[in-house]
Amino acid sequence: MQGAWTPDQVRDAERSVFTSTPEPVVMRRAAFAVAVHGARLLAETAGAVAGRHVVLLVGAGGNGGDALWAGVEFRRRGAGVTALLLSPDKAHPAGSAALRRAGGVLVDAAGPGADTAGVGAAAAGALERADLVVDGIVGLSARGSLRPLAAELVSRVAAPVVAVDLPSGVDPITGAVDGPAVDADLTVTFGGRKPGHVLGTGSVRSGAVVVAGIGVAEHLPEPDLFVLDAADVGAGWPVPRPQDDKYSQGVVGVAAGSATYPGAAVLATGSAVQATSGMVRYAGSAADLVRSHWPEVVATGSITDAGRVQAWAVGPGIGTGASGREVLRHALESGRPVCADADSITLLAEDPTLWDARDPDAAVVLTPHAGEFQRLAGEVGADRVAAAREVARRFDVVLLLKGNTTVVAAPDGRVLVNPSVHAWPATAGSGDVLTGLIGALLAAGIDPWLACGYAAHAHALAAELAAFGPEAGDDPVGAPIGASALLRSVPAAIRALRAS
Ligand SMILES: NC(=O)C1=CN([C@@H]2O[C@H](COP(=O)(O)OP(=O)(O)OC[C@H]3O[C@@H](n4cnc5c(N)ncnc54)[C@H](OP(=O)(O)O)[C@@H]3O)[C@@H](O)[C@H]2O)[C@@H](O)CC1
Ligand SMILES: Nc1ncnc2c1ncn2[C@@H]1O[C@H](COP(=O)(O)OP(=O)(O)O)[C@@H](O)[C@H]1O
Ligand SMILES: [K+]
């Protein structure tokens, strides 16, 4: 499991480091890492480092300082270096002097000879001739969208980019991008990832993230966010042991679908069937259709005679009327963990007295998309992590907030995020598949917070495998999928996760 730390956590850790190691030494370590990884990228993309042209975008603070010192290292490796200073009077003094001594060229990005967009002639020419751009505009202390000159320079970058610490234009805390932002091939960060690397557009804009050790990691507290690796999910995924039978692996009950939405029942039970080897019961008006698709499911018409289960997955397609409410009430009263999705969330939002049915010792997982979240607790807002964390605490639930980045918050404040590289899961019925996965993992006894993280990871991978097809090559081109195709790829996703 990887962590991500907020800028405040990183600054505190840096302060601890500075009690024993001088600040300039720490900065030189950071800059060295940027140069080593940047040089590798340059060699790959331009065939060599010596004789190539590296352009540094240098902002007003420590991020620009890192870039300037990295420029010194590029000079040592024989590259030409031009530093474009966005705030010449604030550019890191020691870094500027060192780069000048090393034979680098430092120019004011805004002049002389500024064009109508405010970019100086030397800066514009340097960017056109760049083989590699080092983005040191802004890092941990970024606030708001990029200012006009920074935004203009960023929009002119055509060469490969190594970002220092964070791609400029990405919010370090939320990963949000509002306006132009660096699109990095590689981001070299220090001590640990930041939320901006794993959330929202930031996860895409960061490119490959390299975490360089500069002595800070040892001083970091518990991460603010966690990200599961494929190997974590594969290792934790429940599979039958020699002593197991169908009951010992957990029986999941699925209450989904209706005369209007029978497909939700087929999708949710189908994913539960394929998620684990335990048993799946179905309760609802789509019992015949479920049996015809999944003969292994024990299906009944009503939740009251469904039989014993270890967890319930309730909601997709059950409707928001009286019968849906009774189904949800029954599941909440069962004393078993419940994954409440879709109509269940709307029901809870419309009638908070339903919470009274809940057994306080049994976990409840809510899996809203942004619209369902709004019904329950108002607009999600830009800080999706803070929103999910607050609602998880308030309702004492594990809250899985759907979207391109899935956020899973536990009532104790722990947050897992699953950055999705692709948007292929954005298809109708895909959430029903996720509900079945979570239900099956809850029934298997997996910690609800992890169950959501495992399910989100496998779900995104299944969509990717379905979209690219088994024959996908090195540079695959995807095709749109429906939730049925996603569902069919669940076993392949689990296999791939277990193999990693
Ligand atoms: N601490 C250390 O020793 C170490 C730190 N390290 C490095 O330092 C970085 C943190 O440095 P930092 O704190 O100086 O701030 P940083 O992110 O460079 O921002 C600088 C300035 O940019 C400006 N600005 C803000 N928003 C803006 C916007 N939207 N668009 C344009 N400009 C904007 C604003 O300046 P202003 O113009 O407002 O005065 C702000 O003060 C960190 O990410 C890492 O790379 C490593 O070397 C390891 C050791
Ligand atoms: N842009 C996106 N990129 C990646 N995943 C997405 C995106 N949009 C939605 N998803 C995922 O697709 C699923 C959609 O669920 P949901 O909105 O409940 O759909 P439905 O109700 O049609 O089943 C969720 O797992 C969500 O995280
Ligand atoms: K940067």
Last residue of a domain, one of 175, 198, 227: 227
Compute CA 440 distance to the chain's CA centroid, rounded to the nearest angstrom: 23
Q: How many domains does the chain have?
A: 2
Residue nearest to atom 25 of ligand 2 (CA): 431
Q: How far is the CA of 97 from the centre of ligand 3 (A)?
A: 21
| DSSP code, position 335 | T
Which amino acid does the sequence have at 191? G
* Residue 469 labeled ligand binder: no
Residues 234 and 223 in one domain: no
Residue 361, pLDDT > 90, answer: yes
Q: What is the mean pLDDT of residues 96-105?
A: 98
Closest ligand relative to 341 C-alpha: 2
Q: Cα(167)–Cα(205) distance, rounded to whole angstroms?
A: 7
Residue 421, pLDDT > 80, answer: no
* Residue 264 labeled ligand binder: yes
- In this prediction the pTM is 0.92
Residue nearest to atom 15 of ligand 2 (CA): 431
Residues 476 and 395 in one domain: yes
Q: Cα(31)–Cα(190) distance, rounded to whole angstroms?
A: 10
Instruction: Please work out, in degrees rounded to the nearest 5, the angle formed at the alpha carbon of residue 328 by the alpha carbons of 434 and 446.
Output: 45
Q: How far is the CA of 289 from the centre of ligand 3 (A)?
A: 54
What integer pLDDT is reported at residue 111 of this predicted model? 86
For residue 457, the domain's CATH number is 3.40.1190.20
Contacts 24+ apart (CB under 8 A), 141-146: 141/7, 141/61, 141/62, 141/63, 142/166, 142/168, 142/169, 142/170, 142/171, 142/172, 144/178, 145/169, 145/178, 145/179, 145/180, 146/179, 146/180, 146/181
Contact (CB, 8 A) for 258 and 284: yes
Q: Taking Cα atoms as reference points, which of 340, 364, 458, 482 lies closest to residue 406?
A: 458
Residue nearest to atom 39 of ligand 1 (CA): 60
Residues 215 and 250 in one domain: no
Ligand 1 atom nearest to 190, measured from its CA: 48
310 lines ligand 2 (CB under 6 A): no
From 258, 369, 374, 437, the mutation candidate for ligand 2 (largest count of ligand atoms within 8 A of CB) is 369
Residues 179 and 250 in one domain: no
Residues 93 and 18 in one domain: yes
Instruction: Please work out, in degrees rounded to the nearest 5, the angle formed at the alpha carbon of residue 371 by the alpha carbons of 365 and 375.
Output: 75
Q: Cα(166)–Cα(175) distance, rounded to whole angstroms?
A: 10
What integer pLDDT is reported at residue 249 of this predicted model? 95
Cis peptide before 93 (omega within 30 of 0): no
State the residue for tokens 């997982």. Answer: 365
Contact (CB, 8 A) for 222 and 198: no
Residue 420, pLDDT > 90, answer: no
Q: Cα(108)–Cα(439) distance, rounded to whole angstroms?
A: 59
Residues 305 and 328 in one domain: yes
Q: How far is the CA of 402 from the centre of ligand 3 (A)?
A: 28
Instruction: Give 290-345 pLDDT, tens digit per residue.
Output: 999 999 999 999 999 999 999 999 999 999 999 999 999 999 999 999 999 999 99
Q: How far is the CA of 419 from the centre of ligand 2 (A)?
A: 13
Structural domain harbouring 309: 230-499
From 138, 174, 187, 209, the mutation candidate for ligand 1 (largest count of ligand atoms within 8 A of CB) is 138
Copy the structure tokens of residue 49. Answer: 């480092």
pLDDT band at 398 (very low <50, low <70, confident <90, very high): very high
What mean pLDDT, rounded, does the chain reach? Answer: 96
Last residue of a domain, one of 170, 192, 227: 227
Contact (CB, 8 A) for 345 and 351: no
* Residue 66 labeled ligand binder: yes
201 lines ligand 2 (CB under 6 A): no
Q: Cα(145)–Cα(154) distance, rounded to whole angstroms?
A: 12
pLDDT band at 469 (very low <50, low <70, confident <90, very high): confident
Residue 474, pLDDT > 90, answer: no
Residue 145's alpha-carbon distances to 126, 148, 169, 176, in angstroms, are 24, 9, 6, 9
Give me the phi and psi of 393, to 5 degrees please.
-65, -45
Closest ligand relative to 168 C-alpha: 3
The pocket around ligand 1, CB under 6 angstroms, is made up of: 14, 23, 26-27, 30, 59-64, 66, 87, 90, 138-147, 150, 164-165, 190, 214
Complex ipTM more than 0.85, yes or no: yes
Percent of the chain with pLDDT over 90: 96
Q: What is the mean pLDDT of residues 257-270?
A: 94
Last residue of a domain, one of 227, 261, 294: 227
Residues 223 and 270 in one domain: no
Closest ligand relative to 405 C-alpha: 2
Residues 214 and 237 in one domain: no
Closest ligand relative to 452 C-alpha: 2
* Residue 141 labeled ligand binder: yes
Q: Cα(331)–Cα(4) distance, rounded to whole angstroms?
A: 36
For residue 107, the domain's CATH number is 3.40.50.10260
Q: Cα(65)–Cα(55) distance, rounded to whole angstroms?
A: 14
Residues 115 and 187 in one domain: yes
Q: What is the mean pLDDT of residues 194-215?
A: 95
Q: Cα(451)–Cα(252) distance, rounded to whole angstroms?
A: 13
State the residue for tokens 């060469």. Answer: 159
What integer pLDDT is reported at residue 476 of this predicted model? 81
* Residue 65 labeled ligand binder: yes
Lowest mean pLDDT among 230-244, 433-447, 466-480: 466-480
343 lines ligand 2 (CB under 6 A): no
What integer pLDDT is reported at residue 213 of this predicted model? 94
* Residue 445 labeled ligand binder: no
State whether residue 365 is helix, strand or coil.
strand
Residues 168 and 239 in one domain: no
Which amino acid does the sequence have at 44? E
Residues 369 and 445 in one domain: yes
* Residue 165 labeled ligand binder: yes
Copy the structure tokens of residue 282. Answer: 């179905």
344 or 470, which is more confident? 344
Q: How far is the CA of 425 from the centre of ligand 2 (A)?
A: 6
Nearby residues of 47 by Cβ (< 8 Å), 6 or more positions away: none
What integer pLDDT is reported at residue 110 of this predicted model? 97
Contact (CB, 8 A) for 166 and 194: yes
Instruction: Give 48-66 pLDDT, tens digit per residue.
Output: 999 999 999 999 999 999 9
Q: Cα(170)–Cα(207) distance, rounded to whole angstroms?
A: 12
* Residue 120 labeled ligand binder: no
Q: Taking Cα atoms as reference points, which of 365, 414, 406, 366 lies closest to residue 389?
A: 414
Copy the structure tokens of residue 474. Answer: 């090195």
Residues 416 and 429 in one domain: yes
Q: Taking Cα atoms as reference points, which of 274, 279, 281 lies closest to residue 249?
A: 279
Q: How far is the CA of 139 from the centre of ligand 3 (A)?
A: 5
